[in-house]
Amino acid sequence: MTTIEIKNIGPIKEVVEISLNRINVFMGPQSSGKSTIAKIISFCTWVEKDVATGQSLSEYQKNKTYFRERLESFHKIKGYFNSDSYINYKSEVVEIVWKNEECSISWVDKYAYKRSKIAYIPSERNMVILPEARKSEFGNTNIRSFLFDWFEARKKYSNENNLSVLNLGVNYYYVEGSEEDHIRGNNNDAKYDILLSNASSGLQSITPLIAMIEYLTKWIYDEDTISFEQDERRQRVNGFLVVEKILKPYYGYDKIDLPIGDLQELVNSFNEKLHEKEEKAVEYFDDYKTISNSLFKTTNSQFIIEEPEQNLFPETQRDLVYYFLQKCLNKEGNRLTLTTHSPYVLYALNNCMMAGLVSDKMEANELSKLKCNQSKINPVDVSIYEIREGVVRGTIQGEDGLISDNYFDQKMKDLMDDFYLMLNHYE
């Protein structure tokens, strides 16, 4: 399991070592540091992918501040680091440590990586629907990355193959020639078709989010194309893997370098053995193919979503959470991380966890009425954290994994204190 520990970065004073679960939620008020945590998790996950698919730590070992510089620029957190800043990210593949103003990175198992699509969906996501977005210069930032993904995703939704936006009674489509994003629907039996940029703030926020999730849970696997640069990397790494996982063990060069001049001769010899289906040759080749496919074929997605509740009615927030659990967790290895300051998001997630505990005890007619039946999840797969004064020490869940009643009760009490104070004077 992947773990992370953070100290003294921006508003974050301390995040004790936590394990990253299938679902991770960071709850807190504005400027509490929840986005900082999500950004660090996202970036460490990306660095893990970068070094694993390149089979090299050298870029980060040569420049000890490279990690911080890229994190600061990509996620726009320049000035957050100080001399006491600390990060420890450890997975089955790598361990990344930022300490004493420099990065150290080491292998745990360099061949254990399973390629992920890392999707950071920022709170500024509604910017991408503006007509001038394509012309804007965002630099190498998470907004630019999301924008490029959006340009690919929206091509999938034409007028004929449009996208239903949750259960809101509206459909999204893209007109490639004019590069226009459209919303079509019914309002009191009156049909309308308008630019997404002219739609309500809620639709502007949720439509890119739904479109991206659909793209990243379906199309990304169907197409799974790589760029020219990535293909060059794949060829280089495959050459390395042939030597390390086939030739060296097969011919007994485990502890010494292969003779470069004889390399092609060894490859030809091995291919002959493989053609003859020699058991040992087949075994080593299959091991090589398994590792290569894991490195270069996308097998899962990591979703990091900032404030999904933006501009949404509570009921829609609930339905969005149910949608996330159906879509984002539909493949083994997928992970969903949310930041939120909405109690409705937590209420909805609590419903899904309760369904995970009791649905097998419910009658069929009861289940049919359960809106979250298709989104149920075992509470052990969910971790919900509250940030208090820059500190995250543990989840706000009880022994059964459900959100503690005390948590909701306290938040409601805090909300109603003024009302009850005034109620004493109301006649």
Say whether both 310 and 417 belong to one domain: yes
Residue of 340, 327, 300, 345 lying closest to 38 (CA atoms): 340
Q: What is the pLDDT of residue 418?
A: 79
Q: Which amino acid is at 146?
A: F
Statement: residue 259 has pLDDT above 80: no
Give, in degrees to the nearest 5, the angle at Cα 309 between 303 and 312: 140
Q: Rounded to an integer, what distance in angstroms lies between the CA atom of residue 390 and that of residue 12?
A: 4
Q: What is the pLDDT of residue 376?
A: 93
Residue 167 lies in a domain: yes
Q: Rounded to an integer, what distance in angstroms lies between the CA atom of residue 85 and that of residue 68?
A: 10
Residue 337 lies in a domain: yes
Q: What is the pLDDT of residue 427?
A: 66
Q: What is the pLDDT of residue 189?
A: 75
Contact 119, 304 (CB under 8 A): yes
Say whether both 128 and 100 belong to one domain: no
Which of 223, 252, 283 is the last residue in one of the domains? 223
Which of 133-137, 181-185, 279-283, 287-291 has the least mean pLDDT?
133-137
Q: What is the CATH number of the domain that holds 97?
A: 3.40.50
Residue 71 lies in a domain: yes
Specify the higher pLDDT residue, 30 or 156. Answer: 156
The model's confidence at residue 414, banded by pLDDT at 50, 70 and 90, is confident
Tokens of 403: 């959100």
Q: What is the pLDDT of residue 126?
A: 82
Say whether both 218 and 235 belong to one domain: no
Q: What is the pLDDT of residue 225?
A: 63
Average pLDDT of the residues of the chain: 89
For the stretch 170-175, contacts whose Cβ atoms lie closer than 8 Å and that sit 24 or more positions apart, written own/partner, are: 170/203, 172/196, 172/207, 172/210, 172/211
Q: Which amino acid is at 71?
A: L
Mean pLDDT for the stretch of residues 27-34: 88
Q: Report phi then psi at 359, rounded to 5.
A: -60, -35
Which of 273, 296, 319 is the last residue in one of the domains? 296
240 C-beta neighbours (distance < 10 Å), count: 13
Domain range enclosing 364? 3-115+301-422
Mean pLDDT for the stretch of residues 404-419: 73
Q: What is the pLDDT of residue 127?
A: 81
Say whether both 198 and 237 belong to one domain: no
Domain count, the chain: 3
Statement: residue 411 has pLDDT above 80: no
269 C-beta neighbours (distance < 10 Å), count: 15
Query: Parallel, antiparallel, or unpaired for β 12-19 and 391-392?
Result: parallel
Q: What is the pLDDT of residue 257?
A: 67
Specify the higher pLDDT residue, 180 or 230. Answer: 180
Contact 35, 43 (CB under 8 A): no
Q: Rounded to an integer, what distance in angstroms lies between the CA atom of residue 207 and that of residue 328?
A: 16
The model's confidence at residue 392, banded by pLDDT at 50, 70 and 90, is very high
Tokens of 3: 């773990």
Residue 24 lies in a domain: yes
Residue of 247, 366, 224, 212 lying closest to 295 (CA atoms): 224
Q: Which amino acid is at 346?
A: L
Say whether both 129 and 109 belong to one domain: no
pTM for this prediction:
0.91
Say whether both 197 and 110 belong to one domain: no
Residue 234 lies in a domain: yes
Say whether both 275 and 338 belong to one domain: no
Contact 142, 72 (CB under 8 A): no
Say whether both 157 and 72 belong to one domain: no
Say whether both 322 and 404 belong to one domain: yes
Tokens of 269: 């010899």
Say whether both 191 and 166 belong to one domain: yes
| Residue % of the chain over a pLDDT of 90 | 63
Q: What is the pLDDT of residue 304?
A: 96
Contacts of 364 by beta carbon, 8 Å cutoff, 6+ apart = none
Which of 94-103, 316-325, 368-377 has the least mean pLDDT?
368-377
The model's confidence at residue 135, banded by pLDDT at 50, 70 and 90, is low
pLDDT in tens, 159-212: 999 999 998 999 999 999 888 999 998 877 788 999 999 999 999 999 999 999
- Name 7's bridge partners: 14, 86
Residue 427 lies in a domain: no
Residue 261 lies in a domain: yes
Which of 182, 203, 223 is the last residue in one of the domains? 223
Specify the higher pLDDT residue, 188 or 384. Answer: 384
pLDDT in tens, 327-355: 988 888 999 999 999 989 999 999 999 99
Say whether both 105 and 140 belong to one domain: no
The model's confidence at residue 118, banded by pLDDT at 50, 70 and 90, is very high
Say whether both 22 and 66 belong to one domain: yes
The model's confidence at residue 24, banded by pLDDT at 50, 70 and 90, is very high
Q: What is the pLDDT of residue 264?
A: 82
Rounded (10°) CA dihedral 41, 44, 45, 46: 120
